[in-house]
């Protein structure tokens, strides 16, 4: 079977691109720590206030100074809680759900970004290496008050 020289080159270029993409995905996942947010579990958005975890969203210390869990609810048109405080260098696992419509959760200046869907709990972890204030926003248009969906993570020096 004869394959034209130009066609053979395009096949080789395509295979080389697929191999390069596979290597880059591996580097991003293992060397740079980029992760895909996961859907942790299902919840009933109409009964969030009846659930002991979601009735009081906020920061929970798992391992003092080392690991924190943040439970957040996105709802028209706010995040609850709107302000979070954690120490620098601590691993923070975010559990985010929506009480009403589709939202998104993005921490500006980091690799954290995920869709927030009613009925599902999204999970993503991040370690803040520098102290300071990190804004988080909704990046999914969710209605007229969408621009008011923001908050701040205050990363403080460890004591």
Share of the chain above pLDDT 90, in %: 77
Output the pLDDT for position 39. Answer: 78
Tell me if residue 78 falls in helix, strand or coil: strand
For residue 134, how many other CB atoms are within 10 A of its CB?
A: 19
Q: Which two tokens stand for residue 123?
A: 């999970």
Which of 80, 90, 75 is closest to 125 using CA atoms? 90
Output the pLDDT for position 28. Answer: 81
The segment with the largest mean pLDDT, out of 1-5, 30-34, 49-53, 80-84, is 80-84
Tell me if residue 57 falls in helix, strand or coil: coil
d(CA 56, CA 73): 10
Sequence spans of domains, the chain: 1-34, 38-156
Mean pLDDT of 32-61: 86
pLDDT at residue 36 greater than cutoff 90 = no
Q: Which two tokens stand for residue 75?
A: 């709802």
38-156: CATH topology is Immunoglobulin-like (2.60.40)
Q: What is the pLDDT of residues 69-119, one digit of tens each?
A: 999 999 989 999 999 999 999 999 999 999 999 999 999 999 899 999 999
Which of 111, 59, 57, 61 is closest to 79 using CA atoms? 57
Output the pLDDT for position 159. Answer: 56
pLDDT averaged over the chain? 92
Output the pLDDT for position 2. Answer: 84
Q: pTM value?
A: 0.80
Partner residues linked to 96 by β-bridges: 72, 122
Share of the chain above pLDDT 70, in %: 99
The upper half-sphere exposure of residue 6, i.e. CA atoms within 13 Å in the direction of its Cβ, equals 0
d(CA 111, CA 130): 14
């Amino acid at each position: 079977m004869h394959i034209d020289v130009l066609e053979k080159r395009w096949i080789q270029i395509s295979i080389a691109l697929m191999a390069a993409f596979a290597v880059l995905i591996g580097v991003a996942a293992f060397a740079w720590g980029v992760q895909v947010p996961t859907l942790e579990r299902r919840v009933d958005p109409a009964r969030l206030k009846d659930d002991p975890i979601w009735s009081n969203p906020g920061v929970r210390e798992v391992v003092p100074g080392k690991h924190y869990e943040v439970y957040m609810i996105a709802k028209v048109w706010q995040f609850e809680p709107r302000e979070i405080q954690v120490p620098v260098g601590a691993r923070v696992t975010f559990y985010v759900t929506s009480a009403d419509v589709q939202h998104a959760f993005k921490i500006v200046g980091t690799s954290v970004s995920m869709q927030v869907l009613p009925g599902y709990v999204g999970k993503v972890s991040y370690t803040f290496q520098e102290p300071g204030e990190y804004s988080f926003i909704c990046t999914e248009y969710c209605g007229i008050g969408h621009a008011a969906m923001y908050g701040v993570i205050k990363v403080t020096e460890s004591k």
